[in-house]
Amino acid sequence: MPTTPVFLAFATASLLASLALPAQAVIVVGETDDFENGTLQGWQAGGVANPNGPANVGSGGPAGAGDNFLRLTSKGLPGAGGKLVVFNSNQWAGDYLGAGVTSIRMQVNNLGATDLVLRLILEGGPGSLTTVDPVSVPAGSGWETVSFSLASTNLAGASFNAVMDHVTSLNLVHSPNSISARSLAPDIAAVLGVDNVTAVPEPSALLLTAIGLAALVCSAGRRRSAGM
């Protein structure tokens, strides 16, 4: 049957649309957002509707002068910008189980006058999972390293496997209580610095990496000895 012009036009339009779609994000072990490129690296808090969106600050991070970090601000009032929330649906989406990511480590600094209780919310699959054990960051904390375990025993909500093998968004929120969505976070007046957000691998993956590096060093040593 001859191809009709209408069919060709539809096929061409479909091809162009598929080419225009962004590549699916994939979480990888060792992913680290250090904000040194001066951007937000895909982190957001409601877009233009939020008058207190995240900002990249060019100095004052954990390493001191010249070290960029992400500053989160909330006003504690009803409406956009009242909650301390930030999320990323780009490089922090994907298959956490397949990648072997078992915790998220970051450095934080409570720059405000209110004590904070931080949790992660992972959205995806049939719902969301929230970290059970919160991370408390007192006012005036200074920079400190914190870690959120992604073990099944520390995540509450929907099916662990269904969410973790298809995460669509990673959220960091202030919430004294375990919540299922960032929209449920309480209003709070706060300022938080965040830096060096890192996807940490399971111990077995670290061991394999160490073994591989050791093998490379030994191999290089043997080659040098053979060349003498």
What CATH number should be reported for the domain holding residue 146?
2.60.120.260
- In a domain, residue 72? The reply is yes
- Residue 184, burial from CB neighbour count under 10 angstroms (0-12, 13-18, 19+): middle
DSSP3 helix / strand / coil % (the chain, rounded to 5): 25, 35, 40
Q: What is the pLDDT of residue 21?
A: 35
- Residue 156, burial from CB neighbour count under 10 angstroms (0-12, 13-18, 19+): middle
- In a domain, residue 104? The reply is yes
- In a domain, residue 157? The reply is yes
- In a domain, residue 215? The reply is no
pLDDT under 50: residue ranges of the chain: 1-3, 5-23, 204-215, 217-220, 222-223
Structure confidence by residue, pLDDT tens digits, 22-42: 445 589 999 999 999 999 999
pTM check: above 0.85: no
Structure confidence by residue, pLDDT tens digits, 119-140: 999 999 899 999 999 999 999 9
The residues pairing with 106 across neighbouring beta strands, listed in sequence order, are 146
Could you report how far apart the first and last alpha carbons of the chain are, in Å?
73
- In a domain, residue 212? The reply is no
What is the tally of structural domains in the chain?
A: 1
